[in-house]
Structure 1
């Protein structure tokens, strides 16, 4: 049997003693082996798969400094805090770093005790900062969120384009780039722009099997979100909104029904935004309502749900945003509301932007992918993975697979809607067409004489909202489209004309109420917990420690560790050390206190 290289053996031992993990997650071991062998690496791994450990562990094993470039201050602070709790010397250097902390970092750099230093790209590119780091004996440069280098991506950061200069300035230091979202073209762009040498490329599956995916057309959006929250009592989650005003409105509505809910957007006073962010990180059961455009840098592992009150901007943005749920691997839910208005607004934003025609074409293609995911009658996960180039069968674990969507023969409805498009010369969009089909006499319908059309009222059996859904599905199925030469005009495609003539079938998606799909992730997380009172007591102790130390609760112990603790009921430190996430430092700091809670409840 081939003997394991000493550094890899040390990495395996550190995984248990520092992190409290019994085994590597899929994909981590081969990436670590390449890094410990001195190779440059590009790793594309889904959120929650342990990307950060791939550059943290080599720094611990080698006892050398790794510089970590991250675009978000909150993310930097969170990861540095978690590492310090594990007994690893780590720090973050950014615009919010206090003078005393800067001095501590400078001392740690001089005495070579610092293992990981997190820094924003803007600060790293400053000549004075780069000059000071040249003398710090940096062994590795880790670039987090590497997709930010892509000008075609959803989260472009121009500062990332200059990071290759940093690699060269540091003498061609070993480089690792990690991201959760990078298709083939984006991976090529990352390699070309960030690396001075050809890296080893590792691409893990984009699948997040612990996420329950669900999407619904908007009817009463606020009511729909409140109903969905019922399955997540006592759980933390994020609700993304398209506007600052909407974040505040929803936070107020949720607070009115007794939920701890806070807004978060760039227009808030800095102190308010920071306080809301800290509350979300430190409190159990807090809901944050945030703008989609504002990156929150969430590294909280126990986010049990991510809701979209409005449709995201692209398929990549959707994947990135839902990735903030269930990072601990436990069940979580991603629920999205969408409407024709959302789609039209996004299209208008694309075409009215100052981007090149090629960029607009790329953005439109990404939007159409997202619309297709919203309107699909296939398994959501299967459809989503297909958009990232992966093939899979139905998952059995999304709203479509669980019966929240069914197919009916939609040929007659399609013919009615297509006829309405033709009879109005394609000059009117979904809201107006839906009123014609439903026979609703509005001022606009009367003004244009459309109440005299043969198609007026042919679909009285459906509401205007129903007809808007039918029209969206016709567009998603490419039976109707925008005229390339006149974006203000709808046309019936050749496939649409085949359906209109009765030469082709058309299956219509029909949303149905299905209580089984309205699952509780809380129940899934705690379904095997024999003592919910013990788990609550463990969470209370964790919360008290977190408040005293001004730390997020998950930095003390994540939910998964407390759930295992409540089930296993350890009586001795040795038993506690065998649980997930209990490393040597945390065992020494917190072991006795948590064992005391377990003992009290066991004797109660």
Structure 2
């Protein structure tokens, strides 16, 4: 370092920065003293510089272990642009390129060598490394994405475990382990697995002040919401999905709606993935829709929106993926679209793991992710507490803080819940406790004689979702504990007994029926806007084909009217302002086809050319409910298996019956109960609204049963 009077001068010379980010200078100083270190620094926090600058100031080559080809290429390209001699060795190179680069390394022309763990520890490469050490010297090793070494990390890779061989082979060379996400458990595992000796440990704050976090329910309108988010984003957008199919389907829909978007997943060829990633980084496209295979180490600073269209598998991976937003420090938005169906998909993937320990860890991580998605506390408080960092809350930059929920006293309900846990001897999970509270006659309840407990049936006044919400809140507040052995058994603690002795109150932030905001009012128009953009694209194509300006086909005002009215017959189309007889004959059928296609995709009724009304086909979720029902499961069993409300399952079956599917109505609602509900409908003269019928029957019949019988009534009266 003699050529630079200060570290700041070296920083300016090599990287162009005038000052270090918090923590960087101390890390570099320790690295120059050849001390082992563990660096935990959030995405975009400047981890790479912590080993890159020391590499330039020390003799020899620094070997960087990196798990992904794209990560290596990205960092090496950036270093070369700064005039730094860096290279990588991986499977993307041919034999001649490998030999040429190895010769350059042996001749001392390379300061940073990036290599994957598999190659580093191979029988052929280790002797080469010995030769390099002998001829030019190895300054040390940097293990990037070090959480991969731990089975408790979110991206465990068995080959990382073998890196401890470096300590045995080169006991005197320093090792720097770096990661953006690591709980205390993972940090200790990294130190142990890599045999770090008295390491310098730097843990930066995990709080990304510039990011806004929110969780939205996934519903039929979610695609429209996503479309609006993308159109309003003033920069690049990453959308994550769980599966390749979801990526392909969503990419196609966005492309059809005029979004400049590309897919990224393991099912594409290496060349396609590389091309799509490069086009995204270079701003050739605004949006990339990807599986979690995308993004590790990608240094694109201007991502303004990261959307998880499916639930992430765990908090660590979510934190890292969301952290790809706003790396330039400017405000950015992070959204999760949450549905219980995603949980089932993830659970299925977990079940495919062959190792029981891995399954147990994955389930535990998934539960914490669900707790985050359903939580009513400050999102930052939940996130940061996961990593062992305290945050007081009220961040103002998450949905829960920006729209706080009203607080209610649930002390009595909490006493009931905790008492039931106690009377069940603290040997069961949440679903069983809820079954006992709600008076279930399920086999497990009866086998354990829990129908004889004093708490049996005392919670019928609340839904299963209400009790589950309370149970999770009690865990968040530390009033109840949940075992981490994969079985999620509920356990009491001293705070539990304080509640049961009336020495402590329990307050819950209750999600309310949201008032319609101006944004949501605009969403009602969003369907019109989506169709409007599609009609504009169609108009542009027709105009290009004819070599005329688009307004010659139709004016914007006419297209907006089309999108609003959505005519489906030539007669209705001809009545639109701006549509004369000539344009009706020229373009009517073409535009009607686009309008019908849009309505079909949205699940809306379609009027065919011969005047028939085609109702939408049954949805996938409806058919899953029907298949389970036809297999002999009760509505309650289906609801529990699918993590949905019983009323939702009743709704599925009622809608399917109305569509003409085979549903055994008498099995759903016994004929004598049907008769009583029908009499109530006739007596009070109300059919459309369920609540008056429910109250008239003194709540002895569920809304689901009433819904089914109403379908029967409607079909009977419509056939007259």
Q: Flag whether TM exceeds 0.5 (same fold).
A: yes
**Pair 1:43-2:39 in alignment:** yes
Gaps of at least 5 residues in structure 1 are 429-452, 460-466, 519-604
Distance 1:16 1:348, change over 3 A: same
Distance 1:127 1:94, change over 3 A: same
**Pair 1:88-2:103 in alignment:** no
Match of 2:52 in 1: 56
Paired residue total: 480
CA shift at 1:377, angstroms? 1.7
Match of 2:440 in 1: 425
After superposition, give the CA deviation of every residue in 1:506-528 in whole Å (9 maximum; x if it has no partner): 5353263686999xxxxxxxxxx
Distance 1:82 1:306, change over 3 A: same
**Counterpart Cα distance in 2 of 1:292 and 1:383:** 22
Gaps of at least 5 residues in structure 2 are 418-430, 444-456, 521-720
Q: What is the RMSD of the two structures over their aligned residues, measured on CA atoms?
A: 4.0
CA shift at 1:263, angstroms? 1.3
**Pair 1:184-2:184 in alignment:** yes
Match of 2:269 in 1: 269
Distance 1:181 1:115, change over 3 A: same
**Pair 1:157-2:157 in alignment:** yes
Conserved in 1, the CA contact under 8 Å of 2:295 and 2:324?
no
Match of 2:23 in 1: 27
Match of 2:675 in 1: none
**Counterpart Cα distance in 1 of 2:72 and 2:470:** 45
Matches within 5 A, 1:196-595: 197-220=197-220, 221-233=222-234, 235-283=235-283, 285-292=285-292, 296-347=296-347, 349-350=349-350, 353-356=353-356, 359-400=358-399, 402-407=401-406, 409=408, 422-423=437-438, 425=440, 470=466, 473-477=469-473, 507-510=508-511, 512=514
**Counterpart Cα distance in 2 of 1:123 and 1:209:** 38
Q: Secondary structure at the match of 1:142?
A: strand
Distance 1:425 1:350, change over 3 A: farther
CA shift at 1:253, angstroms? 1.9
CA shift at 1:367, angstroms? 2.3
Structure ranking higher on relative contact order (CA contacts 8 Å, 6+ apart): 1
**Counterpart Cα distance in 2 of 1:186 and 1:419:** 34
Distance 1:426 1:250, change over 3 A: farther
**Counterpart Cα distance in 1 of 2:233 and 2:301:** 16
Matches within 5 A, 1:118-157: 118-136=114-132, 137-157=137-157
**Counterpart Cα distance in 1 of 2:265 and 2:485:** 38
Structure of greater Rg: 2
Distance 1:284 1:208, change over 3 A: farther
**Counterpart Cα distance in 1 of 2:110 and 2:486:** 60
Conserved in 2, the CA contact under 8 Å of 1:375 and 1:472?
no
**Counterpart Cα distance in 1 of 2:55 and 2:29:** 13
Conserved in 2, the CA contact under 8 Å of 1:217 and 1:469?
no
**Pair 1:106-2:84 in alignment:** no
**Counterpart Cα distance in 2 of 1:353 and 1:153:** 16
Distance 1:101 1:348, change over 3 A: closer
Conserved in 2, the CA contact under 8 Å of 1:149 and 1:161?
yes
Q: TM-score, normalised by structure 1?
A: 0.70
**Counterpart Cα distance in 1 of 2:405 and 2:4:** 51
CA shift at 1:11, angstroms? 3.0
Conserved in 1, the CA contact under 8 Å of 2:434 and 2:468?
no
CA shift at 1:423, angstroms? 4.5
Q: TM-score, normalised by structure 2?
A: 0.59
Distance 1:24 1:505, change over 3 A: closer
Q: Secondary structure at the match of 1:477?
A: helix
**Pair 1:70-2:72 in alignment:** no
